[in-house]
Amino acid sequence: MTITTSPIAEAVGLTGASKAYGAGAQAVTALDELTLAFPAGTFTAVMGPSGSGKSTLLQCAAGLDRLTSGTVRVGGIDLGGLSEQRRTVLRRERIGFVFQAFNLVASLTAAQNVELPLRLAGRRPGAAAVRAALAEVGLADRAAHRPAELSGGQQQRVAIARALITRPDVVFADEPTGALDTAASREVLGLLRTAVDGHGQTVVMVTHDPVAASYADEVVFLRDGRIADRLSGAARMPGRAEQIAGLMARLEQR
């Protein structure tokens, strides 16, 4: 676990970030001169209508995709200057991922999926650590099961255990509850919340579910690749989800 020197230090920051797909007349601007920082030890939700650039933001911030212009920093390191190899190693050490689906390697057991990042880093995973990680997400008894034998919620929890096993500074989650029912969603969001509150990690989550967004400390609304609105305040306050839904609705009408 990384000790942050100051609660407001940035875990991930983007400055003048632009991303365009295609070229010439067909070019689509997904991010438009966006400047944004995700402070360490916070949970941020990114929302916006389809095509607002929220997935692009997440992919660029995580170093999965390169910006057209501008800079991305993860833990103070500029990703733009790194080779693919170095970026991969940085991701492995500092970043965890949770996606909507296709999160697990089908041929590996739950425990093996959790071990994967450690093994890729050439470290020998301790059986106890893996067991603890699975226990933390409530799946200690499912260690030897393959993804096909787990429910969608359980698969997502394995993915979270895997994202957290390296104790990354930042966890990026892309619609982590998109394919789950209400109960499973609540469990998954609770686990992400715990990562922030219990371990001081930073979570950046793209979602279009106001209830999911209500678990975040801050909600950033995007539109046309720019910040359209921001909402801070205590997470999981009563009525907060409705408030977020209202802001979304207005954003989509404009």
Partner 1 sequence: MIALAAVRGRAASLAGTFAGLTLGVALIAMTLLVHVSAQPRTPQRLAAAPVLVHGPVAPDAAGVGSGVRPWAATDAAALADRLAGLAGVAAAVPDRSFYAQLVVGGRPVGDAEDAGAGHGWSSAALGGYPLVAGAAPDADGQVAADIATGLAVGAHTTLLTAGGPAEVTVTGLVGGPGVYTSDAAAERLSPGVLVIGLLLRAGADPEAVAAAARDAAPAAIVATGEQRAALEPVQQAKTRWLGTQLLIAMASLAVFVTVFVVASTFALNVTQRRRELGLLRTVGATPGQIRRFVLGEALLVGAAGGVAGALLGTAAAGPAGGLLVRWGLADPGLQVRPQLLPVLAAVAVGVGVALVGAYAAGRRAAKVPPMAALREASVEARVMGTGRWLLGGGALLLGGFLALRTATAAADERVNSALFAAMALTAAAALLAPVLVPPLVRLVSWPLRGTRGAGPMLVRAESLTAARRTAATAAPVIATVGFAVLLSGMVSTMREAYPAGQAAKLAGITVAVPDGTPGLTEAAAGGRSVLPSRVYANGLSIAAFGTATGPVSVAAGVADALGVRVGGTVDVVFADGNTERLTIAKITPDGQVDDDLILQRDLVRRHDPSALAEAVVGVDAATLAGLPGVEVLDAKAYADRGSGEDSRLLWLFASVLIALSVGYTGIAVVNTMAMSAESRRPDLAVLRRAGATPRQTLRYAAAEALLVVALGTGLGLAVTVPPLLGMAAGLEQEVGVPVALRLHWPVLVATVLATAAVAVAASLTATRRASGHRTR
Shortest CA distance to 49 belongs to which of 215, 214, 224? 224
Q: How many residues does the chain have?
A: 254
Which tokens in the block code for residue 83?
A: 């080779």
- Per residue, the 3-state secondary structure of 18-44, as one string, reads EEEECCHHHCEEEEEEEEEEEECCCEE
Q: How far is the CB of 69 from partner 1 (least distance, A)?
A: 19
Q: How far is the CB of 152 from partner 1 (least distance, A)?
A: 10
Nearer to partner 1, 156 or 214 (CB): 156
Binding interface with partner 1 (CB under 8 A):
55, 59, 64-65, 84-85, 88-89, 91-93, 97, 99, 101-108, 112, 116-117, 119-121, 162, 166, 174
Nearer to partner 1, 14 or 235 (CB): 14
Nearer to partner 1, 163 or 188 (CB): 163
Q: How far is the CB of 53 from partner 1 (least distance, A)?
A: 14
CB 153 within 8 A of CB 100: no
Q: How far is the CB of 84 from partner 1 (least distance, A)?
A: 6
- Residue 48, classified by CB atoms within 10 Å of its CB into exposed (0-12), middle (13-18) or buried (19+), is buried
Q: How far is the CB of 178 from partner 1 (least distance, A)?
A: 11
Shortest CA distance to 45 belongs to which of 189, 200, 179? 189
Nearer to partner 1, 101 or 251 (CB): 101
Nearer to partner 1, 133 or 235 (CB): 133
